[in-house]
Amino acid sequence: MLARRLRCAVAVCDREHIVAAAGAGKGELLGAPLPPEIEPLLTRRKLYTAPASAAEREPLGSRYLLCAAPILVHGDIEGGVLLHGTLREAAPNAETVRAAATAAEFLARWMEE
């Protein structure tokens, strides 16, 4: 639903693997190990938004990371909500970033129960 609403691909990861994916490239990412470049972005405990310069974006499989929202449960990082796309796609706007953050917050609350 989120991927359709935002019109971009979405993945959810734990600290080691992609555990859910929707949108373009989901088959490639689902179950794949989390690239080592992504974990430091999540451990900062802040939203990550891709830079405007496509050359500086982090790879995620054959695609590129546009946004990463960490899932924090009781202060611990349990994973993240990742928006990914191609190098031709613009960096996500504020509404898209907020939607990723809201999804991460929802998952965190669900995991706390």
Instruction: Output the DSSP codes for 57-103.
Output: PPEETTEEEEEEEEEEETTEEEEEEEEEE-TTSPPP-HHHHHHHHHH
- For residue 66, the domain's CATH number is 3.30.450.40
Percent of the chain with pLDDT over 90: 30
Residue span of the structural domain in which 14 resides: 2-112
Confidence of residue 23 (pLDDT cuts 50, 70, 90): confident
pLDDT single digits (tens) 36-55: 888 888 999 999 988 888 77
The secondary element (H helix, E strand) that includes residue 3 is: helix 2-6
pTM for this entry:
0.87
Secondary structure (DSSP) of 25-52: THHHHTTPBPPTTHHHHHHTTS-EE--S
User: Residue 108: pLDDT above 90?
Assistant: yes
**CA–CA distances in Å: residue 4 to residues 9, 40, 48, 59, 76:** 8, 28, 21, 22, 29
Compute the distance between CA of residue 88 and CA of residue 43 in angstroms, rounded to an integer.
27
Compute the distance between CA of residue 40 and CA of residue 80 in angstroms, rounded to an integer.
12
pLDDT single digits (tens) 24-40: 777 888 888 888 888 88
Could you give the number of structural domains in the chain?
1
Query: Average model confidence (pLDDT) for the chain?
Result: 86
